[in-house]
Amino acid sequence: MLSLQKPSVESIRRFLSEQSALDFSYPAVGATATTPPAGHVVDRTRVKLGEGALVFDLAVAALQRWEQFRLGWVEAWSPDTPIQPGQVVAVMGWAVGMWWLNACRIVYVLDEFGPIRRFGFAYGTLPCHAESGEERFLIEWDRADNSVWYDILAFSRPNQLLTRLGYPFVRRLQKRFARESATSMCRSVQ
């Protein structure tokens, strides 16, 4: 959904209500947990956040508050959306003088213990999203060297005519999001 003005809370609620009744816009649901499908662009961003249990706990809390989307030109609505499978969230982005409203549903949540402690989730696109695909956000604590990492893995392809026409610009925005999301997560643990 495109708008010249930032969407109102009521219009976002209505949009999410309509989108939540629909299926994912891609067939490979859950593929960020295994192997991204052929025919999609795959992006991965990985940044070290620091070391130790405190950094891991701070990063997990930030992820649960959707801090990775607090970028000024991108935000998740509602930031109170719980990280649980089936929850639907709107991702709003501002670009080229317009607001883009996109809907995603959480596909799975990871909460793994062991030598590498992991917490994260993946969401998948719904039909009115500009792209079609899935994105995973993951915090990892490798207890062997005590390092804590923020990792984004995504696969996507255009889902709308405007996205196809402006694909080089869309790719720049995707790369910008990954960089700035990593920076936001680094700030959140300091």
pLDDT of 3 higher than 90: no
Q: Count up the domains in the chain and report the number.
A: 1
The boundaries of the domain holding residue 69 are: 2-188
Residue range 83-99: average pLDDT? Answer: 93
pTM assigned to the model: 0.94
CATH of the domain at 152: 3.30.530.20
Give me the percent of the chain exceeding a pLDDT of 90.
86
pLDDT of 113 higher than 80: yes
**Is the distance from CB of 77 to CB of 92 less than 8 angstroms?**
yes
User: What CA–CA distance (Å, rounded) separates 29 from 40?
Assistant: 13
